[in-house]
Homo-oligomer: A and B are copies of this chain.
Amino acid sequence: MASPPPKQTMKERILETADKLFYMQGIRAIGVDTIAAKIGISKRTLYNHFPSKDALIAAYLERRFVQPRASDKPPAEQILATFDSLERRFASKDFRGCPFVNAVAELGPEDRSVRKIAIAFKESRRAWFRDLLRELGVADAEGLATQLVLLVDGSIAQDLVRDDPAMARAARQAAIVLLAHAGVNIDKSIPDKPREAAKIRQPDAS
């Protein structure tokens, strides 16, 4: 259990484990004892690095907040790649929705610190779309960016309950229509992937 080459700082080891457990099982569902036990350290050590569970939660969310790295691919391609990436993540068994939305749903919008970072994350995603749309010369880049994040979050929420990667494909198709309507020329070199028409999975009968 104890990883032989612990060449990370203790703080990072704690955060890494907390991340896995918080994300996969829920923040309220995981106690600090569980985290410490999983790493093989004492609870005292954990509390030496984080003054409280709340601080650990905040650090967990901050660590999840990574800016999308810049790319030299054409903007339209980057936008559509977002949905392909989503589809891949939906197919993974380790995907369990958006950690920020989940945290707000679990802890409540009254938790100011949690909500604040969730808002910052959502806004950064929207700004990323918006800047790409501006590059494409879209008139109402703000508005269209908002519509695109709706598709992203909508597919994530749907996948969380349905566990169906087709939600990402449906979002991608809708995005294409919205982009085209805004005058964006979807490069034909980006294959529209004539997959079978986004068949969605029927609810499990069992």
Q: In the docked arrangement, what's the CA distance between A26 and B26, Å?
A: 13
For chain A residues 133-189, which have a beta carbon within 8 Å of chain B? 140, 142-143, 146-147, 149-158, 160-163, 166-167, 170-171, 173-174, 177-178, 180-181
Q: Mostly helix, strand, loop or mixed at chain A's interface?
A: helix
Say whether A104 faces chain B, with CB atoms less than 8 Å apart: yes
Asked, given contacts A177-B177, A197-B143, whether A170 binds B158 with beta carbons under 8 Å apart, the answer is no
Contact A106 B109 (CB under 8 A): no
Contact for A200 among B146, B152, B174, CB less than 8 A: B146
CB distance from A173 to the nearest CB of B (A): 7
* Residue in B98, B106, B142, B174 whose beta carbon sits within 8 Å of that of A147 in the complex: B174
